[in-house]
Every structure is written in C-alpha cells, then in structure tokens.
Amino acid sequence: MTAPLLEIRDYRLAFDTFDGTLHVLDGIDMAVAPGETLGIVGETGCGKSVLARSILRLNPMPPARVVSGEIRFRGADVLALPPADIRRLRGAAVAMVFQDPATYLNPLLTVATQMEDAIRGQDAAKGGPVRRRAAARDVAAELLAAVGLPEPRRLLASYPHQLSGGMRQRVLIAMALVGDPSLLVADEPTTALDVTVQAQVLALIASLVRERGLTLILISHDLGVVSASCARVAVMYAGTVVEEAPTGPLLERPLHPYSQGLIAAVPDLDRPEVRPKGIPGSIPSLLDPPSGCRFHPRCERATERCMVEKPLLRELLPGRRVACHHATAGDSPQ
C-alpha cells in the first residue's frame, strides 16, 4: 500500500466536563491513502465530528484532552505541530466543510469579503506575498464558477442571507478549495439541505474529488449518503470504529453485529413489505461507557468475554476489518 496521507493510531480523546469525564473517542485506528474516498457513518453522538475536528486540532483544549495515540498527516505528527505549521495545515493541506453552512458564514459580510479574506489568509499562512483584494476577487469568482454557481460576480456582492441553503453550501465548498487542499473532510455537508439539493451537492463533491484528485473523508449518519459517495466505509459506534470495509461488500454482508443492525434499519424501497428493524436499546452514556465492547449491552451475540475484553479491529477478510470477538468471515446478515 502507498504511504497513507492520514494515519490515526490508537487515538483516545476525552472531554473533562462539570459532570465528569466524557470518554468520547476510544482507540481510533484509521488510515486513508492519497486519492481514497472514506465514509464515516454512525449514530448521533458517536464522535464523528470530534474525530473530524481532531485531524486539524480544532477541539477546544480544555475541555478536550488527548489521552493517547497519534495522528499523522503525510507522516507529520499533527498533535505535536507548532502553531504556525498547524495554521498551514488548516486549509492548505486539509479543508473542512461542515453541516450548517449558515453558521460558518458571517451574516454581516458579503461573500466577496469573506472569500477574499480566506484567500489572503492562505497567502499569509504560506508566508508568501499577500494578494491585493482585486486579485483575490478574481480567484474567488473562478472558485465559485468551479462549484457550479452561475453569475459569480453578482454572487460575490451578495450577503449570505440572500442565498439559498444549497448556494451557501457551495460557497463554503468553494472556500474550502481556496488553499488547494489534498484532503477534504466533509462533516454532514448535506444534512441541512433538502434531498434534491443534497444530491446536487454530493455530485459536486464527487466531481471535485475526481477533477482535483482530492482525498475525501465524508461523514454522515446516513449510510445511503456515504455509500453513494465513498469506496470504503468505517462504521463508528460510541467512539470506536467497529468495522471498516469496501462499500459494496459492507452493504451486502456486514460482519459486525452493529453494522448488521444499522443496515437492517435502512428501509428498502424495492421491498416495502419488509419492515426495517431497529437496534434494541440506546447509545450508551460516554460518561460511564460499557466495559469491554461498548456495543455489548445491545448485542445479541454478547458473551462474558465481550463485557471484559475490548475487541480490537482485526482483518477478517482482505481489506475488511472488524472489532468483534465473535465475527467470522462466514457471517452473513440475519
């Protein structure tokens, strides 16, 4: 395998809160090769956004605290980078797009001002000459055209409230491209959009990935969204990765009991007579997470071993890793 672009090893992150310590990420192992598209899927609160923010050290510390592990981007130790280098990493190497575009645009400034600031900010972070506003505006117009927005010049003069949700998300994607990043982390980029606009934004991300050779991490609670856009999927449960596999085989034959439950819970439009099944129980509190396998209280196959011993991700089939004591290569969905 080529050297990974991003490598996360045994990463544990906790939040020290007034109620106690939240053990949010519990030993994340993940590697993403250049040009790969990885989807991360999991229920609300399982730590997807915290993990995404960890890549750029965007979790506020405190209350966040790294308990163990390492994150490497192109081999560099992200957790130990000095502030100037982490600023360069943000935007220039790794760009993020978030769930709610309205929150990340300043309502008081025009799109032009915000994009020019981003472009000039990247110039400054790179340590080179900082472009004049007029030159930055030309680049901004090109980027808006690249994300499929018509009449970029008129749009530049607009304020965020004058744009639709889909347009705002496109503007944010254009801003993410400012530093010509190699890794794009999109955290629920379409959750706030209606389904038709969602499909357009996903298609835009897919075309940018192809044309610019971007590496993509796409995060969603919606298995449909990640499976349509990503070649490989990691399934998270309560701060752990429970299974990681190429998308097709994962959907056809999930090996972890939680992935099996997650896939069985998706309604099948071709077979409306089959009622989707829910997973019994609810996600555990991260203040006092279950011992051993965090999924064991909800798992039909749990044994005593699952209560005491945390299962590690192991390769059960080529390219397929599962964190379950009882999963076997012959497992099939129920």
Ligand X SMILES: Nc1ncnc2c1ncn2[C@@H]1O[C@H](COP(=O)(O)OP(=O)(O)OP(=O)(O)O)[C@@H](O)[C@H]1O
Q: Which residue, 63 or 213, has its beta carbon nearer to ligand X?
A: 63
Task: Give the residue ranges of DSSP H helices in the chain.
Answer: 48-55, 83-88, 111-126, 133-146, 152-156, 165-176, 195-212, 223-229, 247-252, 257-264, 304-308
Q: Does 103 bind ligand X (CB under 6 A)?
A: no
CA distance 316 to 331: 10
Q: Which residue, 60 or 318, has its beta carbon nearer to ligand X?
A: 60
CA distance 24 to 9: 15
Q: Does 60 bind ligand X (CB under 6 A)?
A: yes
Q: Does 225 bind ligand X (CB under 6 A)?
A: no
Report DSSP state, residue 328. Answer: -
Which of 17, 68, 162, 207 binds ligand X (CB under 6 A)? It is 17
CA distance 290 to 284: 7
Q: Which residues bind to Mg ion, rule: CB under 5 A?
A: 48-49
Q: What would the DSSP string read from start to end of 125-171? A: HHTSPPPPHHHHHHHHHHHHHHTT-S-HHHHHTS-GGGS-HHHHHHH
Which of 1, 2, 18, 44 binds ligand X (CB under 6 A)? It is 44
Site map for ligand X, 182-221, x if CB under 6 A?
------x--------------------------------x
For residues 239 and 289, the answer to whether their CB atoms sit within 8 Å is yes
The footprint of ligand X on this chain (CB under 6 A) covers a number of residues equal to 17
Least Å distance between CB 54 and Mg ion? 12
Q: Which residue, 177 or 217, has its beta carbon nearer to ligand X?
A: 217
Least Å distance between CB 162 and Mg ion? 27
For residues 60 and 15, the answer to whether their CB atoms sit within 8 Å is no
> Which of these segments, 46-54, 173-181, 272-280, 307-315, binds ligand X (CB under 6 A)?
46-54
44 binds, among ligand X, Mg ion, none (CB under 5 to 8 A by kind): ligand X
- For residue 5, the Cα-to-chain-centroid distance in whole angstroms is 15
Least Å distance between CB 14 and ligand X? 9
Residues engaged in binding ligand X (CB under 6 A): 15, 17, 22, 24, 42, 44-50, 60, 63, 188, 221, 286
